[in-house]
Amino acid sequence: MPQATSHSPSGIRVDRRQVLIGSTVSALFLGSGHASWAQGPRQGASGAAINGSAAAPLRPHAVRSSRPVLGTDTVLGLERAIDDYAAIVSRGGWRPVPAGDRLRIGARGRGVSALRERLAATGDLGGNARGGDLFDSTVEAALRRFQMRHGISPEGQVRASTLTALNVPAETRLRQLETNLVRVRAYSGFLGNRYLVLNIPAAEAEAVENDVVVSRHVAVVGKVDRQSPVISSRIADINFNPYWTIPASIIRKDLIPKMQAEPDYLARNRIRLFNGESQEVDAASINWNSTEALRYRFRQDPFEGNSLGNVRINIPNVHAVYMHDTPAKGLFDEDQRFHSSGCARIQDIRGLIAWALQGTAWTRSEIDQVLQTDERIDVRPLQSIPVYWVYVTAWADPAGVVRFRHDVYERDGIASQLALSPQR
C-alpha cells in the first residue's frame, strides 16, 4: 500500500447590453455573428443545427459538452447568449405552452402546436419543423434536448417541471443570463491547470484539466434551509474511512429529536459521545429532553453506514463544509438533489479522488483496496488543486448550448418565475 498518514481521530441587477432591433434571426443563434467561435450551420440554444432542416434525432453530444461551467470562454459564451436572448425579447419572446394536455409521443392538438413553436424558439426544434400539431419522434428528440439543457430528466414528455421551465418568459431568462454574467466574471482570471468546480444549482461537480472537463459527477448539495456556501479553497487531503464529527447544528436539529423517538439510534449508527477530556460518555446518561447533549462531541465511527461514506475530500473553509461519499446513493437519481446540511455528496467519488491523486502511488486499485478496510488514512495530492463552489444558474458553452438551472436558493431575484416543481 502507498505510504500515507494513518492516525486516530482528533442577486445583482445589471443594465442590458445594447442590441440591434430588427436583426434577422429565425431562432436563438448562439453562433450568429461569431464565425470564429462556431463554424458551419447556425445553432440554437440547444446546440442543434438550425439550417432549415428538421431536427435530427437526439444524440448525447447535442447538449453535452467537455467545456466547464467555469472556463476561459465562460464570459464570452454568456455575453453572446445575452445578445441573442435580447433579440428574442425584442421580437416579443415566446408564447406559453398551455397546461392540461398530455404532451407525449402520439399526442395531437393545439398544445403540441404550442410546444413545437416554443421548442423552435430556442433552437431545440429545427425551424421547418415548428408547424403541425403532432407530437412525433422529432418533437420528442427536441424536448429531450430542452430537458437536458435545464437539468430535467430527459424522458421526452411534458410533466410539471418541464412545463414550468418551458413557460419561463424570455425576459426572465435574459435577466438570469445577465445576473450570472456578473457572477462568472469574478472567476475570469486563471483558475488553475487542474481544478474542481461544484455548481450548486446544478448539483454537479466537474474535474477540469487544461480547460477541459475530464469527469462530471452528480452531487447532492444543501437544503434551502441549510444552504451550501459559495467558497474558493483547495484540496488539502483525502481522508479514507473517515470519522464523522457531527456539527452542533445537526445534533440540535436532527440527533436530539431522533434520540427522543429512538433511544437506540446512536448505538445502531455507531455514534459515540465524548466530553471535553475525550472521555466517552454513555448516551443513556443524557437527558435528551434538554440541551445537555450539546455539551458533548458526537463522532461516528468508520463503517459502511457512516454518513460520509468511505471517503472525504477535505477543503479548508470557514463554513466547515467538504465533499464526501454517501451510503444514500439513491438520491443521485433525483432531478432536485438538495438534501444535505451544506456539504456536497459526490457520485463516483472514487473516480474523482483517483483523478485528484494522479502522480502519486495511489492508483484506483490501491484506493479500492484501502476502502475494503476500516483503516484511517490521509493522503495529499501531489500538487495543490483549487476548488470552487459556485452558484451559477445560467451559462453557455462554445458549441452554442445555453443551460439553465432552478434558482433553488432564490439568489437571482426572479425565483417566483423560475420555481420548478419536483414532480414530473
* Helix, strand and coil in the chain, % to nearest 5: 30, 20, 55
34, 150, 217, 324: which is the annotated catalytic residue?
A: 324
- pTM for this one? 0.82
User: For the CA atoms of the chain, what is the radius of gyration?
Assistant: 24
Partnered with residue 390 across adjacent β-strands are 199
DSSP for 210-245 reads: TTEEEEEEEEEEE-TTSPPPPEEEE--EEEES--EE
Q: Among all chains, which residue has been given the C-alpha cell 455548481? A: 199
Considering only CA atoms, which of 341, 265, 266 is closest in space to residue 298? Answer: 266
pLDDT at position 281, please? 95
Whole-number Å distance between alpha carbons of 60 and 65: 9
pLDDT reported for residue 7? 47
In the prediction, which pLDDT does 32 show? 30
Which pLDDT value is given to residue 250? 93
**Cα distance between residue 161 and residue 150, in whole Å:** 10
How many CB atoms are located within 10 Å of the residue 393 CB? 25
**pLDDT tens track, the chain, 424 positions:** 665 554 433 333 333 333 322 232 233 332 333 322 332 333 456 554 433 333 333 333 356 789 999 999 999 999 999 999 999 999 999 999 999 888 999 999 999 999 999 999 999 998 777 789 999 999 999 999 999 999 999 999 999 999 999 999 999 999 999 999 999 999 988 999 999 999 999 999 999 999 999 999 999 999 999 999 999 999 999 999 999 999 999 999 999 999 999 999 999 999 999 999 999 999 999 999 999 999 999 999 999 899 999 999 999 999 999 999 999 899 999 988 999 999 999 999 999 999 999 999 999 999 999 999 889 999 999 999 999 999 999 999 877 899 999 999 999 987 655 454 333 3
- Respond yes or no: is residue 343 known to be catalytic: yes
Give the per-residue pLDDT at 283: 95
Q: Which pLDDT value is given to residue 45?
A: 61
Beta bridge partners of 345: 220, 324
8-state DSSP, 196: E
What DSSP string runs through 244-310? Answer: EEPPHHHIIIIIHHHHHH-TTHHHHTTEEEE-TTS-EE-GGGS-TTTTGGGGSEEEEPSSTT-TTTT
**Contact status, residue 47 vs residue 400, Cβ threshold 8 Å:** yes
Q: What is the pLDDT of residue 312?
A: 97
Respond yes or no: is residue 324 known to be catalytic: yes
CA distance 49 to 40: 9
CA–CA dist 114, 13 (Å, integer): 31
User: How many whole angstroms separate alpha carbon 74 and alpha carbon 185?
Assistant: 9
Query: Strands across the sheet with 244-245, in order?
Result: 244-245, 297-300, 271-274, 280-281
Contact criterion met (CB below 8 Å) for 300 and 247: no
